[in-house]
Structure 1
Amino acid sequence: MDVSIIETSGLGDRSYLIAHHGIAVVVDPQRDIDRVLALAEKSQVRITHVLETHLHNDYVTGGLELSRTVGADYAVPAGDDVDYDRRAVTDGDIIDAGPIRLEVLYTPGHTHYHVSYVLRDDSGAIHGVFTGGSMLYGTTGRTDLIGPDDTKSLSHAQYHSVHKLADRLPPDTPIYPTHGFGSFCSATPSSGDSSTIAEQRSTNPALTQDEQSFVDELLAGLSAYPAYYAHMGVINREGPPPVDLTPPAQIDPAELRRRIDAGEWVVDLRTRTAFAAGHLPGTLGFELSGSFVSYFGWLYDWGAPITVIGDSAQQVADAKRELVRIGVDRLTGAATDHIDTLAGGSQLATYPVADFPSLAGELSSGLPSILDVRQTHEYDKEHIPGATNIPLHELPDRLDDVPSGPVWVHCGSGYRAAIATSMLDRAGISVVLIDDAFSTASEQGLTRSNDIDD
């Protein structure tokens, strides 16, 4: 029995292909199903079943298209109201894929109808459990995505679901979650790349705490999640259209300038330092790395046309792949010439890049304006005294709250700060990007923790 992981690091998720004796089952596939098809071809297996643990809130599923493409049965939890034919599965059902069998366990919490799948061979031996957004590595899936009126009851349900998994499965059972590798669907950060039921018994809060303590801690730890989540459930219920990964049309400098002047979303994918060193005025900088798609989706004006500037056709293709995973399909053009060529003779915009030791030098001679774009819970834990905290996702609506420039902008690593500085620069505010780890600020003695009165 072979379980292959299909990693989607930009969203912090995993999909799985289970293969045995020429047959394969896929769990929670992402929308770009070519990765799954390529793996199945390489493994010389035929996909007979596609399974969803839940209707996803952080990405557009590829399950419907994959099942139609290969002629596989498509299993979705019973109770979820969807606009397409599928096999509605519930507690105790058996997915019989010949040499591969999966038992459905009802594990609500992340959503009302969430299920997990216990992997067995044809002899009945257990080889693992696919837990979706239920039991994760050292944490659980968050419980506030359905709505505030359901959060508390789903948190209690999550506790019981994790106990159900732990009580029914052998200690050495491998766990295969969908979320928890940087996904905002995780209630708290997860730990590790693999785990078993036995390990979770000693590390997972749902199994080490009493029910009320677990619920109280979970509710207290929930932080903001990307705004694009509001669209994912709708798309996944209706049934996503087939994915389109064809390259967007190349556009010339004149058309690029027209789109910028019209206020359209023109996004520069280059590194944050390259953007700071020279960019077209009016563009936004979203470095294509790390959490690009999560923060893009969080800030994106849903449905607006997008033009991208990239170093290469491959970079543009990579960005399009990331964007279609969250249903952003209106990539209407791309420009990959050198930035000086794209400027068409116009002057490029620039701003300085600094680090926390440089900020320390500024603080020793005065009090510069500092903007902290981390989330509120990060700021509350530790921050630079005198810094204004505006979480990145709130910045577009709070430009009037930004202190007078030049504004030194920071986050935890430099990534969110780079997006913020591009937004402020576009708004005509003088900025300095702090491209540095926040731990350096602590080492420089610039910060104060929440247990010390400001």
Structure 2
Amino acid sequence: MVQVEVLATESLGDRSYIAHDGTLALVVDPQRDLDRVEALLAEKGLRLAAVAETHIHNDYVTGGYALSQRLGVDYLVCGEDPVSFDRTPVVDGDRREIGAMTVEVVATPGHTVTHLSYVVSDGDGPPAVFTGGSLLFGSVGRTDLVDATRTQEMTRAQYRSARRLADRLPDDAHVYPTHGFGSFCSSGAATGADSSTIGAERAVNDALTTPDEDSFVERLVANLTAYPRYYAHMGPRNLAGPDPADLSPPAVVDADELRKRIADGEWIVDLRERTVYASEHIAGTISFALGQQFSTYLGWIIPWGTPVTLVAESPGDIVEAQRQLTRIGIDRPAGGAVGTPRDLAPHEDLRSYPTATFDDLAARTGEEADEPVLDVRRDDERARGAVAGSTHIPLQDLLARLDEVPDGRLWVHCATGFRASIGASLLDRAGRDVVLVDDDYSRAVERGLATG
């Protein structure tokens, strides 16, 4: 039976894989921080034979080219992709032998035009199919990333690709998608499963349970939501053959230099927990709490190419933030500063703003009751319900629409508090008076403040 090791990248909702026979290995869709891949290969005593890409990725910078170059192995990439580097071109129907494993290439267009899946078998047990952004757990990859004008066409291709895979594989074939674990590259109703088989997908996957193609296309297209703007930069980067990630420590920034960068309007990103930031922070910094959504939203909101200086209370947080950023092509932070706000700035440069719950919002009286509420959720979330009388500006549009923000002290909310914390800090940086509503939107619905 083909053995598969999983390398999860929770911050992007993606997975990379190592398929092996105990001796030789095939790496599929590796992330850019290759030390994780190389450590697992060494731990398992495996020799890498080839690297394979299911598609030219839109949500991260691949490590595939760098890994193949570093270890001198074949790099399997669709022969129709207009890459600017040497690779081993593969197309539908190609077969390769890697030790005891047979790797069959299957064209599965939909997520991208040239998307491939790889069926790996060893003649002893069920095959493994690496589906990239095609067949996911309960759903499929989104179909609007190639060209918005081709979304209908790509959605039909995606439907047929998923069914083609299911028709040619046994029920016990194990499914290993790259996307679908929180990635914005997925679409439809993902099951939240940690593993699956073709048989299981036949029972639950939208593309396999919807008998009518037109109905599937209509529903999938209607449910497509906004996706991060940094995606626009990933495809060209991956077609060019990205360099290895540089994870060496960024330059140390002292208090004087930090103050200068803030005065110059640079992006100084505070990695601390959002309510800690609200209680005290350096004026002019921006709150992006380090966690699974950190790089996605920083990459979505920052003007691309803007230098980023990271501020944290521990060196380890700087290291983790840098790792996450390099995966989306923010190659080198402009610097890092470690310490509390009081360590890094004089007292007169420190700021704070209050945090609140939806209970607090419901309890407002007097002049406070008239203060505006700003909703920074996505359009699709807003369409399902809203706080009565609130103003809506999606977080990703806030910087460009600051002139539309209502006057007065603003109560800023989202679905959980994370995006609201970013929005509140951006408004605070712009000189606005804010209250961070750090609460779950369901509480607003329970209190009768909102529909949803």
Q: Identify the TM-score tier after normalising by the shorter chain.
A: over 0.9
Deviation at 1:380, TM superposition (A): 0.8
State the TM-score, normalized to the length of structure 2: 0.97
2:160 is paired with a residue whose SS is helix
Match of 1:443 in 2: 446
C-alpha distance in 1, partners of 2:101/2:275?
Answer: 50
1:256 matched to which residue of 2?
A: 258
Tell me the CA shift for residue 114 of structure 1: 0.1
Instruction: Tell me the equivalent position of 2:382.
Output: 379
Distance in 1 of aligned mates of 2:189 and 2:311: 32
- Alignment partner, residue 395 of structure 2: 392
Q: Which residue of 2 aligns with 1:9?
A: 10
Instruction: Give the Cα–Cα distance (whole angstroms) in 2 for the partners of residues 347 and 263 of structure 1.
Output: 15
- Partners of 1:16 and 1:288 in 2: how far apart? 25
8 Å Cα contact 1:304/1:330 also seen in 2: no
Alignment partner, residue 112 of structure 1: 113
Gaps of 5+ in 2: none
- Report if the CA contact (8 A) 2:288-2:294 is conserved: yes
Q: Distance in 1 between matches of 2:306 and 2:188?
A: 32
- 2:49 is aligned to 48
Is the CA contact (8 Å cut-off) linking 2:322 and 2:332 kept in structure 1?
no
Structure 1 residues 351-366: aligned runs within 5 Å: 351-362=353-364, 366=369
Question: How many angstroms does 1:273 deviate by?
Answer: 0.8
Distance in 1 between residues matched to 2:255 and 2:194, nearest whole Å: 45
Q: Which amino acid aligns with 1:256?
A: L
Give the Å deviation of 1:124: 7.0
- In the TM superposition, what is the alpha-carbon distance from 1:189 to its structure 2 partner? 4.7
- Once the two structures are superposed, what CA deviation does each residue of 1:324-344 show, in whole Å capped at 9, x if it has no partner? 000001311111022101013
Q: Which residue of 2 aligns with 1:302?
A: 304
- Against the structure 1 CA distance between its residues 124 and 307, is the aligned structure 2 distance closer, same or farther, given a 3 Å change threshold? same
Q: Shift of residue 132 of structure 1?
A: 0.3
Matches within 5 A, 1:22-33: 22-33=23-34
How many residue pairs get matched?
Answer: 448
Equivalent in the alignment of 1:95: 96
Say yes or no: does 1:140 pair with 2:140: yes
After TM superposition, where is structure 1 displaced by more than 6 Å over at least 4 residues in a row? none
After TM superposition, list the pairs within 5 Å mapping 1:310-321 onto structure 2.
Answer: 310-321=312-323
3-state secondary structure, aligned to 1:330: coil
Q: State the identity %.
A: 50
After TM superposition, list the pairs within 5 Å mapping 1:160-239 onto structure 2.
160-191=160-191, 192-209=193-210, 210-239=212-241
Aligned-residue CA RMSD (Å): 1.3
User: Counterpart amino acid of 1:17?
Assistant: I
Cα separation, 2, equivalents of 1:315 and 1:174: 36
Structure 2 residue identity aligned to 1:266:
I
| Counterpart secondary structure, 1:366 | helix
- Contact 1:407-1:430 at 8 Å conserved across structures: yes
Match of 2:372 in 1: 369
Which residue does 1:452 correspond to in 2? none
CA distance in 2 between counterparts of 1:40 and 1:339 reads: 41
Looking at structure 2, the residues matched to 278 and 114 of structure 1 have their Cα atoms a distance apart, in angstroms, of: 48
1:317-361 superposed Cα distances (whole Å, 9 cap, x missing partner): 000000000000131111102210101343311000111111110
Question: Out of 409, 417, 421, which is 1:414 matched to?
Answer: 417
Query: In 1, distance between residues paired with 2:28 and 2:408?
Result: 50
* Range moving further from structure 2, 58-67 or 125-134: 125-134
Residue deviations 1:398-432 (CA, integer Å, cap 9, x gap): 11111222111111110000000000000111100
Q: What is the distance in 2 between the residues matched to 1:340 and 1:71? A: 50
Q: Deviations over 1:83-115 (max 9, x none)?
A: 111111111111211112211110000000000
SS at structure 1 position matched to 2:269? strand
SS of 1:382 mapped into structure 2: coil
| 1:129 equivalent in structure 2 | 129
> Offset at 1:200?
1.2
AA partner of residue 68 (structure 1): Q
Aligned partners of 1:118 and 1:129 also within 8 Å: yes
**Structure 1 counterpart of 2:380, which letter?**
H
For residue 152 of structure 1, report the CA deviation from its aligned partner.
1.1
Post-superposition offset of 1:251: 1.1
Q: Tell me the CA shift for residue 151 of structure 1.
A: 1.1
